[in-house]
């Protein structure tokens, strides 16, 4: 009888005592901000693993800050790499940003900046 109990899965552990592995999600917020004194529309494209995740126009009034998206990953160590491309008139910036647990813990953010001269840059920095 004892052999049948072991074969049936009764090895002494309570039934239903199964531990599920939950994936943690690590996040990096992305914003756009306009430091110029004119309205600007920026085209923002985001890709990951070769797939388009987002492709939209972001219109900003002078001094306006707007959330664009949140880049996420469930891979703590290797992370998820996103290709961010932004266009403003004839100017273009592109950058790869990898979201990992360490990046998220530092409070890192990506900020697409329309400069006070109407230029464009993409800054990725941890919180001070």
Chain-centroid distance of CA 60 in Å reads 21
Distance between CA atoms of 9 and 64, rounded to whole angstroms?
Answer: 61
Percent of the chain with pLDDT over 90: 79
pLDDT at 41 (0 to 100): 97
Instruction: Write b or e for each residue in 91-117: b if 16 or more Cβ atoms lie within 10 A of its Cβ, otherwise e.
Output: eebeeebbbbeebbeeebbbbbbbeee
Mean pLDDT (whole number) for 36-55: 95
Q: What CA–CA distance (Å, rounded) separates 66 from 58? A: 8
CB 121 within 8 A of CB 93: yes
* pLDDT classification of 50: cutoffs 50, 70, 90: confident
pLDDT the model gives residue 9:
46
- List C-alpha distances in Å: 84 to 34, 64, 68, 119: 18, 20, 11, 17
pLDDT at 21: 59
* Domains identified in the chain and CATH numbers: 25-126 (2.60.40)
Sign of CA dihedral 118, 121, 111, 24: positive
pLDDT tens-digit map of 1-21: 454 444 444 444 445 555 555
What pLDDT, on the 0 to 100 scale, is given for residue 17?
Answer: 53
Tell me what the mean pLDDT of segment 10-39 comes to.
77
The answer to whether the beta carbons of residues 85 and 93 sit under 8 Å apart is yes
């Amino acid at each position: 009888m004892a052999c049948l109990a072991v074969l049936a899965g009764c090895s002494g552990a309570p039934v239903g005592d199964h531990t599920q592995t939950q994936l943690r999600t690590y996040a990096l917020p992305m914003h756009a901000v306009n430091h110029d004194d004119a309205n600007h529309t920026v085209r923002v494209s985001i890709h990951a693993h070769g797939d388009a995740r987002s492709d939209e126009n972001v219109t900003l009034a002078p001094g306006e800050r707007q959330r664009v998206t949140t880049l996420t990953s469930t891979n703590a160590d290797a992370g998820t790499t996103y290709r961010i491309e932004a266009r403003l008139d004839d100017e273009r910036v592109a950058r790869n940003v990898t979201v990992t647990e360490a990046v998220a813990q530092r409070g890192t953010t990506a900020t697409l900046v329309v400069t006070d001269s109407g230029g464009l840059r993409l800054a990725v920095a941890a919180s001070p």
